[in-house]
Structure formats: structure tokens, C-alpha cells
Amino acid sequence: MAHELKIFSGSAHPQLADDIAKYLHVRRSDVTVTQFPDGETFVKINENVRGRDVFIVQPTCPPTNQNLMELLIMVDAARRSSAERITAVIPFFGYARQDRKDQPRVPITSKLVANLLVAAGVNRVLTMDLHAGQIQGFFDIPVDHLYAKPVLIRYFRSKGLDDNLVVVSPDVGGMKMAHSYARALKAPLAIVAKNRVSATEVEALDLIGQVDGCNVLLVDDITETAGTLKTAAALLKKNGAKRIFAGVSHAVLNEQGHRRIAESEIEEVITTDSTPFGAGEKVTVVSIADLLGEGIRRIHHDESVTSLFDIP
């Protein structure tokens, strides 16, 4: 695409936007994002975007509603400033777990968010490791869905733990993702059956598979309170696992989550910088800036992003 590329960031994760801009050898474009005393968000784009290819980097992580509203207002500002194309770069897509009606009289909020983004003026979405893959179908615009797997596996392989390894899904819902990692690492797969007691408490019930005497990689897409990871790790240790690691795409860790990881049988949690909440005791953050930056470059030049899924 011949139009000049512009990278903007909201207040959710400006460091990630800066790292993406560095990969692309451009500077982060200038925008003012502030709040009025009553909590309303004000946005002003401080440079010309008429006819430009605009990318707005904004994970909708906590405070979720504020960051989402900020993104919508930035998109509207860019649209009203005659940007040629607007791509919302959402490394972590908030509300992704509200993707279906699992109870009577509840919303499908991820579909609502998709509608809001399109209504605001988004032409394309670039995101990573959606909790539910069908969310791509909630949009009537192109969605480029990247995966953290190549980045996380590259780091894990650097630790030399490929031998005698078992990949474990901490619940039945994550089995497809764990199977993908197991195939890439040429390792067997095991599954922990769990029961969710409350939003912050889970109990591990049983283990399907063998981990006795093996190193273990727990794989999950999101962790907040780390209850699932901690209980799964305790069950794995009880069943004879040697060293336990966890690979998590999105760490939205609160104080309780960091404490649980520190207290758990997990030796190291490997996560990405899709949100600014990962860093802490026993947590290693690997950057997805190059992955997203390359995705942005290819979108800008109308190239295929398929090879970004390949494991090096």
C-alpha cells in the first residue's frame, strides 16, 4: 500500500507500541489522550493522517471498559480526520470469554464489542490468541489472528527442555491449544480435569495422561488469578512431574495471581507482553513486538501473514 504508515497508541500499553514502531523503523505518532475530571475521555490526533494507513495499538486489558472506550474514540478521531484505512491492533481482546449464551438472559459481549469497533470505523483488526476462535466470525471486516506459539516455543527451546517433555492442558477447554504445542514440540499430551468453584477458585480433579518423571509444560491462553495453573501444578507434582513450566499467551495478573504463582510448584511462567501486567516473581515476559510489527508491515504492503504461524 502506497500510503504512509502511522502507529498510534492509547494509554493501555504505550511501551508495546514503541517497541512495534522501533521494529518498523518509524516513530510512534503523536496523539493526546486525557481524561476530563468527570471521567470522560478526550482524544486529539496531533499530526496529519489524511490518506494515511493508521494502526492503533490498544490491548483492551484492565481497566477494560476505559481502554475499550479509548480505542473507540481514537478510531472515530482517525476516521473523521480522513485516514485511508484504520487497523485496530488489539494484542489482548477483552470480553473474549463472553462469546456465547451459556446461561439464560445473558449477552454475547464479544459480539457487541465487534459491532462497536466496526461502527466506530475500524477497517481491519489485528489480534493474537483469541480465547474463542469463532470471535473472528463476529466481525464483518478482515481479522488477522496471530498466535504467540512461535515466540513462546522459541524461548522454551532455548532452555533445552525438549527431551522427556509432556505438554499439559490445565483444563478440557484448552485441549486444542495444548495439542498444537505438543505437535510442535513433538511431545505427548496430558489433560487436567478441573472444577471451577468460583471466579477465583478452582479444584483439580484428575489427570488424564502420564507425567511421572517428566518435565511438564502447562499451556493456557489467559491467566488472571492463576488459580487454574496453581492447582494443576500441584496435581502434576503429586503425580510425579519433575520440573513444571507454564506457557501463557496473555498474563492479566493481579496481586493474587502473582502471589499464587510465587507459591506454586511452577518453576517459571513464560508469557508475552500483550498486556503490561505480566512481570513478577517466577514470570518471564517475552516480547511479541516483532511478531505484531511484522504483521503490521505485511498488512501495510498487502502481503500474506500466513508464514508468521510457522515455528522456527
State how far the alpha carbon of 35 is from the alpha carbons of 78, 171, 230, in Å. 18, 40, 38
Q: Single out the catalytic residue among 149, 194, 230, 238.
A: 194
CA atoms within 13 A on the CB side of 302: 4
Q: What is the DSSP string of 226-259?
A: -HHHHHHHHHHHHTT-SSEEEEEEEE---HHHHH
CB 211 within 8 A of CB 241: yes
Q: Is 194 a catalytic residue?
A: yes
3-state SS of 24-79 is HCCCECCEEEEECCCCCEEEEECCCCCCCEEEEECCCCCCHHHHHHHHHHHHHHHH
Sheet holding 165-169, edge to edge: 202-208, 189-196, 165-169, 215-223, 244-251, 268-272, 283-286
253 Rama sector, left if φ>0, alpha if ψ -120 to 50, beta otherwise: beta
CB 235 within 8 A of CB 192: yes
CB 19 within 8 A of CB 274: no
CB 196 within 8 A of CB 202: yes
The total of other beta-carbon atoms located within 10 Å of residue 100's CB is 12
**Cross-strand pairs, 144:** 126
Catalytic (active-site) positions: 194
